Amino acid sequence: MTANTPIDTGATAWVLVSCALVLFMTPGLAFFYGGMVRSKNVLGMLIQNVLAMGLISVIWAVVGFSLAFGGSNKWIGNFDFLFLADVANAPNLPGYVGDFALVIPPLAFVAYQMMFAVITPALITGATADRLKFSAYAILIGAWAILVYPTVAHWVFSPNGWLFGEGALDFAGGAVVHINAGAAALAVVLVLGKRRGWQREAMPPHNLPFTVLGTGILWFGWFGFNAGSALGANGLAAQALINTQLAAASAMLAWLVVEKLRAGHATTLGAASGAVAGLVAITPCAGFVGGMAPIVIGLVSGVVCYFALSLKTKFGFDDSLDVIAVHLVGGLVGALLLGLFADKTVNGLGADGWFFGGGADLLGKQVLASAATLVFSFVVTYIIAVVINKTIGLRVSNEDELVGLDQSQHAETAYQA
């Protein structure tokens, strides 16, 4: 492969647009979660998500991108691209040669990957809602964006990473984003503890219309997330886009049917939750499956994630807005189903899953990648959370929690009487 792959203008245009689409998902997530908390905590939720857009963008440019995509070591990147040095004019990025050569400017790739780095720690806010101190949150996700995210991104996304080398597939971040954030959310919640009054008093969502608005923004942005991950404007991007739509649609239907049968009503929150569960599950699969596989993946994820809701009451951890049930479990469902449904006729750089004549080989690799991501993220995040808890403390005081994060952390209220 020559050092200078020609830039494809169509691909570049699509990836630049996809950057904006993926960025938009973070405020979408803010509204998705913001609607589900009590009214005294809605600004606390919104600002935590928005802060990720500020803090993680800077960290990504300074050191995150370099740790994720620099050098040829298979465990971790290096400091070659610190402060984005030499990226703009790099003939290619490490590992992105041959079949993996980029046809977009390296800076477009930096920006696109930045948006993933931004939204991933923001997903944790749903688990820690209503009680995490703002300063502790900022340190937590700052440390996480340096110590956890780039490592997993390197393992899975970089062609030099060890899980990539093993042949594990993750098209748009089922492991890097969803299993990673879900495992981190579990670790933080275990250190942080439960909300005061959890399971004794009602904590119903204060504004489900916000949640539906947020779902719409997430769904819209997810086309950039998944179809943009083709890194080209081509048939693969189109395949990823239709897969995304079908999985979200069928997961929403599955969730609604199950909750109607189990609890008696099809709910607005259920429709929103089901759609997001389907979007999560299709993320790793989007560019590797075809036909009606996305519908099966959507249906399975809708049902499995619904039943995963009860994990928190069974095991007694207060994952406030069900990040573990939707993102960790949904991510695992997608990663494992990819081992069954992957199809090389869709993407020659992929593999054949069990149902397409590839045997159990790919499924084994998917289990390995999922387990490695889950364990690494959980352990390192747990250590970060314990260190913060022992120093400045993770939680707000009881009084501040009762008053609400809006007033106690930010001296604002969302709604004037």
Token pair 């690494």: residue: 376
| Of residues 119 and 203, the one with the C-beta less far from another protein | 203
Nearest to 148 by CA among 52, 76, 225, 226: 76
Task: Candidates 147-155, 156-164, 220-228, 255-263: pick the segment binding another protein (CB under 8 A).
Answer: 255-263
Judging by beta carbons within 10 Å of its beta carbon (0-12, 13-18, 19+), is residue 209 exposed, middle or buried?
exposed
Among residues 262, 316, 349, 402, which is the contact residue for another protein, using CB under 8 A? 262
Taking the CB of residue 336, how many other CB atoms lie within 10 A of it? 17
| Of residues 4 and 314, the one with the C-beta less far from another protein | 314
Does 309 interact with another protein (rule: CB under 8 A)?
Answer: yes
Does 269 interact with another protein (rule: CB under 8 A)?
Answer: yes
Min dist CB 330 to another protein, Å, is 14
| Of residues 273 and 408, the one with the C-beta less far from another protein | 273
Token pair 């610190």: residue: 82
| Of residues 95 and 274, the one with the C-beta less far from another protein | 274
What phi and psi values does residue 223 have, to the nearest 5 degrees? -65, -35
Distance, in Å, from the CA atom of 323 to the CA atom of 99, rounded to the nearest integer, reads 35
Min dist CB 257 to another protein, Å, is 14
Does 273 interact with another protein (rule: CB under 8 A)?
Answer: yes
Distance, in Å, from the CA atom of 168 to the CA atom of 159, rounded to the nearest integer, reads 11
Does 173 interact with another protein (rule: CB under 8 A)?
Answer: no
Site for another protein in 187-246 (CB under 8 A): 202-205
Does 270 interact with another protein (rule: CB under 8 A)?
Answer: yes
Task: Candidates 228-236, 261-269, 390-398, 399-407: pick the segment binding another protein (CB under 8 A).
Answer: 261-269
Evaluate whether 114 touches 150 at the Cβ level (below 8 Å): no
Nearest to 147 by CA among 388, 389, 370: 388
Exposure class string for 222-251: b at 16+ Cβ within 10 A, else e: bbbbbbbbbbbbeebbebbbebbbbbbbbb
Among residues 6, 264, 348, 357, which is the contact residue for another protein, using CB under 8 A? 264
Percent of residues in the chain assigned helix, strand, coil, to nearest 5? 70, 0, 30
Does 260 interact with another protein (rule: CB under 8 A)?
Answer: no
Among residues 170, 318, 319, 322, which is the contact residue for another protein, using CB under 8 A? 322
| Of residues 5 and 268, the one with the C-beta less far from another protein | 268
Distance, in Å, from the CA atom of 369 to the CA atom of 168, rounded to the nearest integer, reads 6
Min dist CB 167 to another protein, Å, is 37
Among residues 130, 259, 343, 401, which is the contact residue for another protein, using CB under 8 A? 259
| Of residues 211 and 283, the one with the C-beta less far from another protein | 211
Q: How many residues bind another protein (CB under 8 A)?
A: 17
Distance, in Å, from the CA atom of 329 to the CA atom of 307, rounded to the nearest integer, reads 10
Task: Candidates 105-113, 176-184, 267-275, 373-381: pick the segment binding another protein (CB under 8 A).
Answer: 267-275
Taking the CB of residue 207, how many other CB atoms lie within 10 A of it? 18
| Of residues 206 and 395, the one with the C-beta less far from another protein | 206
Among residues 1, 13, 88, 263, which is the contact residue for another protein, using CB under 8 A? 263
| Of residues 87 and 269, the one with the C-beta less far from another protein | 269
Taking the CB of residue 50, how many other CB atoms lie within 10 A of it? 14
Nearest to 291 by CA among 356, 236, 243, 362: 243
- Contacts with another protein, residue ranges (CB under 8 A): 202-205, 259, 262-265, 267, 269-270, 273, 306, 309-310, 322
